[in-house]
Structure 1
Amino acid sequence: MENIYYLLIVGLVFWYFIHLRKISEYARNHINHYCNTESLQFISLARKSSRIRFSKQHGPHWMSIFEFEFSGDGESSYLGEMQLRGYKVDNVNMPPYKIN
């Protein structure tokens, strides 16, 4: 009977990593699209945190925060932050940056 519990735990850990990878792919697609529409150069993306949140408005959902590096002039780089609620963009914060 305990083998079933081990398999369940391994399956849940495996699902968790696959789910986080899927969220990261959605974040990369959203940031690439955002940078293309704003005429920015996308440099890198890193996950800052991911956790489950509960709210009355949205119910239980994954809240993920990503930091991304971008450039407006091709010489300097800046750090922005994007929040995802599930697979949808909730908020994008960017510092002032130089443009060409």
Structure 2
Amino acid sequence: MGSVFILILLMFVAYLFLLQRRQDERATGLARQLCQQQQIQFLDCARDSHRWTTVNGKKGFRTLYLVDFSGDGESRYQAELWLKGQKLAAFELPAFKM
């Protein structure tokens, strides 16, 4: 009985890991696409945290990704990309120099 529980627990952890990897890949793809739409240079995308928060007036469990970009090719700025599951919840760009 104990070994079955451990096996199920390990499978659950592996499943959560795969879901997180899929979300990371989705966030990077979205960040590239959004930077291209804004005509800015995409530099990097990294997961920051998971939070229970309000985004665009809606409460829920969200994942925050920090997206580094450049508007002029020399400076580095950081935007916030919020995902709810695999869907885009918000993309917030700071003021930057073109």
**What amino acid does structure 1 have at the position aligned with 2:81?**
M
Note the C-alpha offset of 1:52.
Answer: 7.2
Q: Does 1:66 align with 2:77?
A: no
TM-score after normalising by structure 1: 0.85
TM-score after normalising by structure 2: 0.87
Per-residue CA deviation, residues 18-70 of structure 1 (Å, 9 max, x unaligned), is: 100000011011101001111111111110113578xxxx9xx7521100100
Could you tell me the percent identity over the aligned residues?
30
Q: 2: distance between equivalents of 1:18 and 1:76? A: 34
5+ residue gaps, structure 1, are: none
Q: Where in structure 2 are the equivalents of 1:51-62 lying within 5 Å?
A: 62=61
5+ residue gaps, structure 2, are: none
Aligned-CA RMSD value = 2.0
Tell me which residue corresponds to 1:26.
Answer: 26
Q: 1: distance between equivalents of 2:48 and 2:63? A: 8
Q: Does 1:92 align with 2:91?
A: yes
